[in-house]
Amino acid sequence: MKKNYLLLYLLSILIATLFYLPAFAQSSFQETFSGKAPFYYDPMGNAGYIGPYSIQQTHDGGYIMAGYTTTYGAGGNDVYLVKTNSSGAILWTKTFGGTSDDFAFSVQQTTDRGYIVAGSTASFGAGGNDVYLIKTDSTGTYQWSKTYGKAGDEFGYSVQQTLEGGYIINGFTNSMGSWYSDQYLIKTNSIGDTLWTKVFGGGTYNHFASFIVQQTLDGGYISSGIAYPSGGVEGQGSPYLIKTNANGNKLWSKNYTYGNQYLAIYSLQQTSDKGYMMAGSYVAGFSADSASGIILLKTDSLGTPLWGKTFDGEGDDALISLHCPSVQQTSDHGYITTGTYEDNSSNYNNFIFLVKTDSTGTLKWSNTFTSSTDLTKNFDDEGFWVHQTKDGGYMVAGTSSIGADVYSIYNPYLIKTDANGHTSGCNEYTQTVRQVSSSFTSTLLTVNSYAGGSVGNPATVKGSGGSATVLCTVTALPIELLFFTGHNEEKVNVLEWQTASESNNDYFTVEHSADALNFTPFATVKGAGNSSQLQQYSTVDSLPATKTTYYRLKQTDYDGNYTYSNTIAIGMKTNLDIISIYPNPANNNLQYLLTSTENVEVNIAAIDLLGRRINIQTKTISKGVNQLSIDVSAFSTGLYLLQITSSSGINRVQKEFMVK
């Protein structure tokens, strides 16, 4: 497999962007970079790969992306810079580096309309890998580059232009400090000369992996990462924040916990109230290898948690954010985040998800996307970055892998949505995202500070190459659709939608499908014609599929032109609830009461802290209250999870219990 999952797990950088007010007309598109594009694969037979690790909207409304390529350049992996217009069409590409491996992990447009790029290089510097900083003009033409580090390995994962015109760079080092790896913070002037460096690490932790830095409103800096304890393993770390003054001197540092679950924070932004928003993933306490959901954690200006929210999928589905998840505060003071929706109901396919919340983290809407047009075949789409764009919509960057090359060839995948997260039905699918309010705690983190670093002036080799393929482009709808949603009521599905404005709108046709591929109409609803008022619509599907039914709206104008909405899915739910579990702790027989809204077959399992499923049973339960039991006399002493899942996989409930 060409994808380096460990590298993707470690890479996460926050790109600070401005807030924009939504406009009425919003364009959307989806685009994959394939063919001769040097992102992942060259059809002439040369294997090539690029990770779209950083993307930002530029002053002209287009986008700048940074990653790396093995197809073009001077040799090995080379830094790769791509500039597109507002529709995602490539305007120019540039490569930078030497004959060894050179990577770009962060890019930002500078005040002179040029670009600053941070990453790592093994082609230049003091030895091993060094932090690599490259400055270009507005056309991507090379201006200067610098390296920072010593004889070991240094990586630069985040760069931001500071208020006085210099740069702040964040990453980690194993050449300096006192342990396996430590956080590495570098401040330079406008031409990359070092003003100061700081190394943070030590205490009870021997591995600091730091990804993000941002200049704060007081002129200081906030940075985040994961600290692994002495004797700990990757996946069992503790997320942390370090706040410094303008000279890099530590003011405070904190780490965060969420029960007994493993946390990883990959994205950070200072919010409008001078506090901080963090995003990442959690593991449900049983296996450090499998993320079961995403987290949003809001703190005050001193890093004290104010609230936390977790999100996961329906049934056995999971939202995972192991690959550069991103969060941004939006113009309405809410939050937008992206990542990967792991659909375990069939084929174990992965979608890109988009989740929008209000200012308190309450879910407003969610949507999922895939570049595949056939949901019966395997595909693996993963979301890395999301930014609100000038028109109030969102730009999502990730990767796509479909067809015969699934899990081996990955193409960069760009998705531009409107303000409601839609691309007007262009490869949209709606899975259920569930939200839970969660309790996070913080403690003071002891870190030591060290000086270190040297600077070099590499003889960077320049190059270019690449093209892109448009997957689909959608212009603005003649209606402004606020939402299209539905839910199950007994044996029927209720569909509802609302528009904010309509122009030349004749009628809606509601279509359903059992496989998300073959749709048939079952209802027609008259439109409002021309309207600037809120319009509410609804209809009922009295003959839904036995398990999951897919729906889409077809909107038709008076002149016969039509366009489709996003696709949503509604499952025939069975509501389950464990209302009592006793005795707890137990030593012989564990009793529990399980309620169900209908007669249904369920799978019952006890899960230990290593994620092993013990005493798996399949039972048919009755509508109402069921008294059930599990023999735990042979169980080892410890904490377990009782998990009950309907045979359809749509509903799952679980409770913890102890064996003594």
User: How far apart are alpha carbons 15 and 20 in whole angstroms?
Assistant: 15
User: How far apart are alpha carbons 109 and 161 in whole angstroms?
Assistant: 9
Confidence band for 57, pLDDT divided at 50, 70 and 90:
confident
Phi, psi of 405 (to 5 degrees): -100, 15
Quick one: average pLDDT of 237-266? Answer: 83
Domain locations in the chain as residue ranges: 1-10+28-39+258-445, 50-250, 477-571, 576-659
| pLDDT over 50 (residue 49) | no
| pLDDT over 50 (residue 476) | no
Provide the b/e sequence for 275-314 (b: ≥16 CB within 10 Å): bbbbbbbbbbbbbbeebbbbbbbbbebebebeebbbbbbb
561-575, 580-594, 633-647, range with greatest mean pLDDT? 580-594
pLDDT for residue 74? 79
pLDDT for residue 366? 87
Q: What is the pLDDT of residues 510-563, one digit of tens each?
A: 999 887 778 899 999 999 998 888 899 999 999 888 667 889 999 988 878 777
What percentage of the chain exceeds 90 in pLDDT?
23
Of 71-80, 310-319, 385-394, 504-513, the poorest mean pLDDT is in 310-319
User: How far apart are alpha carbons 324 and 339 in whole angstroms?
Assistant: 8
Quick one: average pLDDT of 139-164? Answer: 91
Contact indicator for 157, 11 with CB cutoff of 8 Å? yes
Of 42-56, 227-241, 260-274, 638-652, the poorest mean pLDDT is in 42-56
Q: What is the pLDDT of residues 410-444, one digit of tens each?
A: 677 888 888 888 876 666 666 666 565 555 555 55
What percentage of the chain exceeds 70 in pLDDT?
72
Q: Left (φ > 0), alpha (ψ -120 to 50) or beta: where does 465 sit?
A: left
pLDDT for residue 407? 62
Fold of 477-571: Immunoglobulin-like (2.60.40)
What are 495's two structure tokens?
């569909």
User: How far apart are alpha carbons 206 and 227 in whole angstroms?
Assistant: 8
CATH of 576-659, one of 3.30.450.20, 3.50.50.60, 3.20.130.10, 2.60.40.1930: 2.60.40.1930
Confidence band for 9, pLDDT divided at 50, 70 and 90:
very low
User: How far apart are alpha carbons 220 and 212 in whole angstroms?
Assistant: 14
Confidence band for 38, pLDDT divided at 50, 70 and 90:
very low
Confidence band for 40, pLDDT divided at 50, 70 and 90:
very low
Higher pLDDT, 463 or 7: 463
Higher pLDDT, 44 or 278: 278
Of 1-5, 173-177, 212-216, 558-562, the poorest mean pLDDT is in 1-5
The residue with tokens 């482009």 is: 473
User: How far apart are alpha carbons 240 and 203 in whole angstroms?
Assistant: 13
| Domains 477-571 and 576-659 are alike in CATH topology | yes
| DSSP string for residues in 535-550 | EEEEEEESS--SSEEE
**Non-local CB neighbours of 74 within 8 Å, separated by 6+ positions:** 95, 97, 98, 99, 123, 461, 463
Beta strands 535-541 and 379-388, pairing class: unpaired
What are 111's two structure tokens?
């005040």
Of 4-13, 99-108, 465-474, the poorest mean pLDDT is in 4-13
Average pLDDT, the chain: 77
Contact indicator for 211, 157 with CB cutoff of 8 Å? yes
Please give, one letter per residue, the 3-state secondary structure of 100-165. CCEEEEEEEECCCCCEEEEEEECCCCCCCCEEEEEEECCCCCEEEEEEECCCCCEEEEEEEECCCC
Q: Left (φ > 0), alpha (ψ -120 to 50) or beta: where does 417 sit?
A: beta
| pLDDT over 80 (residue 596) | yes
pLDDT for residue 61? 79
Cα-Cα-Cα-Cα torsion 290, 291, 292, 298, nearest 10 degrees, comes to 160
pLDDT for residue 113? 92
pLDDT for residue 131? 93
C-alpha separations of 264 from 71, 186, 258, 294, 609 in Å = 32, 23, 11, 9, 19
What's the CATH architecture for 50-250?
A: 5 Propeller (2.115)
Within 10 angstroms of residue 348's Cβ, the number of other Cβ atoms is: 11
| pLDDT over 70 (residue 331) | yes
Q: What is the pLDDT of residues 410-419, one digit of tens each?
A: 677 888 888 8
pLDDT for residue 118? 94
pLDDT for residue 357? 92
One-letter amino acid at 660 equals: K
| pLDDT over 70 (residue 270) | yes
Higher pLDDT, 635 or 27: 635
Contact indicator for 570, 488 with CB cutoff of 8 Å? yes
Of 81-90, 502-511, 527-536, 605-614, the poorest mean pLDDT is in 605-614
Quick one: average pLDDT of 348-360? Answer: 86
Confidence band for 177, pLDDT divided at 50, 70 and 90:
low
Phi, psi of 403 (to 5 degrees): 70, -150
478-492, 554-568, 631-645, range with greatest mean pLDDT? 631-645
